[in-house]
Chain A
């Protein structure tokens, strides 16, 4: 299975779509936004712009990585016959979904690390080491629901619909979660939608940790609930997609 994970990582790192959306986008936008608003401070979180944007863009990159590395590749593998190819090897079925999940989590790391690096190098963001560790760990673990969502999409939809659905899901969640525009300037109706999205919970945890506070229990509970529901759904959808009469 370790070799399987290695192969999965290798292929995604060679995938242009992954590299553009997941690595280039968040880092590029961070550099752009931080130059514009890096020195202002965010009213809602009290964070300096450069820090708040770092969390937002890292969150976007991580969310995108988790969904991009699962939904479409998985759907394609099911339809192209690659899954069958794996099913006729000694590899047990559960190893396939486990590998998908683990590789997806590993593929999240480049955007987290690169955006963080960009913040340190260009905006001289500095946090105490313990806070860095807590931030990266929380933002890493927090991508589990999004990877699971990607697997749900990939299990239920054929590749040509999985592609747009994953895209809309990814940008929708990023938008509603306040990753692209702050939740504080959203209209009231949008705000109430935003508050139930896992991406808002996810980013809020990051903002709080970056500001030196413990995550709000409501946000932690929110992402945990989403995580449990989506992982369960992913398992059910996976089983439905792989077993035959």
Chain B
């Protein structure tokens, strides 16, 4: 069954279209990154998934149910961008309070361990650092043992070491067949932690696939040369080639495997290749290009 299903979902605020006709299916058990620049519609999508916002049109299902039903059944846990804690309560009190609101919560000790909080369990919330607060918020998100975990830019306030530990914790949680959807604007995070990346820009999905596939298709390297009057047919069948673009006399071949593509170009075709150029795209640049195209 699909953990998440968006069917032609659109959300408008007056004249502003935040989410523009998104179709998306996420099978149970997947870890998916929602990758996009600020304002792309990531948070709006997550907020709608929780039933806190209603789509202007279209339909969202979580495990086949409307979002509010899934929330009421304790099937979704989420870490939203903003979310202060109650200053007077300790870490353990806060986590225990939220876990008791759920029908099938994880044991308190397990939650604290999964979120690296065991050592600061007795500390009151007003004495926590930014990174510690984030960890508590992660603990609150997993407290109910949700089948679907949503994380909206979870590492925004963290330093490098906290980030690494956070993703380790997330993977430990995901390992038990749970579904994770996380929003990020860091390509690297999406690449390292998701088995599928959905790139979203201006409210639309502009790419969807494995991190490697997206990198290859968009950010991957390319080789171009002057083709002149020679036929373009067959170039897209070369090893590693993922796309062919013709601009005037110059053809550009996108590739996931530069060496193989170039070797095949010389050995397996009879083309007269002139002015060969290799373009290696920086990942961030390619991502920007991709999100601008929309």
A contact set with B: CB distance below 8 Å: 3-4, 7, 10-12, 14-15, 76-77, 80-82, 84-92, 244-245
Given A3-B100, A90-B72, A81-B93 contact (CB < 8 Å) = no
Contact A11 B89, beta carbon cutoff 8 Å: yes
Given A82-B86, A88-B71, A88-B78, A245-B97 contact (CB < 8 Å) = no
B contact set with A: CB distance below 8 Å: 13, 50, 52-54, 71-74, 76-78, 80, 82-86, 88-89, 93, 97-98, 100-103, 137, 140, 144
Contact B50 A88, beta carbon cutoff 8 Å: yes
Contact B74 A7, beta carbon cutoff 8 Å: no
Closest 5 A/B residue pairs (Cβ): A80-B84, A81-B83, A81-B82, A11-B88, A14-B88
Given A80-B82, A90-B71, A7-B101 contact (CB < 8 Å) = no
Given A7-B93, A89-B74, A90-B103, A84-B88 contact (CB < 8 Å) = no
| Least distance between A73 CB and chain B CB atoms (Å) | 9
Contact B101 A88, beta carbon cutoff 8 Å: no
* Alpha-carbon distance between A14 and B89 when the two chains are bound, in angstroms: 9
A80 contacts which chain B residues (CB < 8 A)?
Answer: 82-84
* Alpha-carbon distance between A76 and B73 when the two chains are bound, in angstroms: 27
Residue of B nearest to A80 (CB): B84
Residue of A nearest to B101 (CB): A89
Contact A84 B83, beta carbon cutoff 8 Å: yes
Contact B140 A245, beta carbon cutoff 8 Å: no
- Chain A: interface secondary structure? helix
B93 contacts which chain A residues (CB < 8 A)?
Answer: 7, 10
- Of B76, B83, B88, which is within 8 A of A15 by CB? B88
B13 contacts which chain A residues (CB < 8 A)?
Answer: 245
A3 contacts which chain B residues (CB < 8 A)?
Answer: 97, 100
B83 contacts which chain A residues (CB < 8 A)?
Answer: 80-82, 84-85
* Alpha-carbon distance between A90 and B99 when the two chains are bound, in angstroms: 10
B102 contacts which chain A residues (CB < 8 A)?
Answer: 89-90
Contact B85 A82, beta carbon cutoff 8 Å: yes
- Of B71, B72, B140, which is within 8 A of A85 by CB? B140
B74 contacts which chain A residues (CB < 8 A)?
Answer: 89-90
* Alpha-carbon distance between A74 and B93 when the two chains are bound, in angstroms: 19
| Least distance between B48 CB and chain A CB atoms (Å) | 10
* Alpha-carbon distance between A92 and B73 when the two chains are bound, in angstroms: 11
| Least distance between B285 CB and chain A CB atoms (Å) | 34
* Alpha-carbon distance between A4 and B89 when the two chains are bound, in angstroms: 12
* Alpha-carbon distance between A87 and B140 when the two chains are bound, in angstroms: 12
Contact B50 A245, beta carbon cutoff 8 Å: no
Residue of B nearest to A8 (CB): B86
Q: List 18 A-B contacts (CB under 8 A).
A: A4-B97, A7-B86, A14-B88, A77-B86, A81-B83, A81-B84, A82-B83, A84-B80, A87-B50, A88-B52, A88-B71, A88-B76, A88-B77, A89-B102, A90-B73, A90-B102, A92-B72, A244-B53
* Alpha-carbon distance between A82 and B103 when the two chains are bound, in angstroms: 20
B103 contacts which chain A residues (CB < 8 A)?
Answer: 90
Given A3-B100, A10-B89, A10-B93, A87-B84 contact (CB < 8 Å) = no
* Alpha-carbon distance between A82 and B88 when the two chains are bound, in angstroms: 13
Contact B98 A85, beta carbon cutoff 8 Å: yes
Contact A87 B97, beta carbon cutoff 8 Å: no
A12 contacts which chain B residues (CB < 8 A)?
Answer: 88
B82 contacts which chain A residues (CB < 8 A)?
Answer: 80-81, 84
* Alpha-carbon distance between A88 and B140 when the two chains are bound, in angstroms: 10
* Alpha-carbon distance between A7 and B96 when the two chains are bound, in angstroms: 10
Contact B85 A89, beta carbon cutoff 8 Å: no
* Alpha-carbon distance between A166 and B72 when the two chains are bound, in angstroms: 34
B54 contacts which chain A residues (CB < 8 A)?
Answer: 245
* Alpha-carbon distance between A81 and B85 when the two chains are bound, in angstroms: 8
| Least distance between B115 CB and chain A CB atoms (Å) | 15
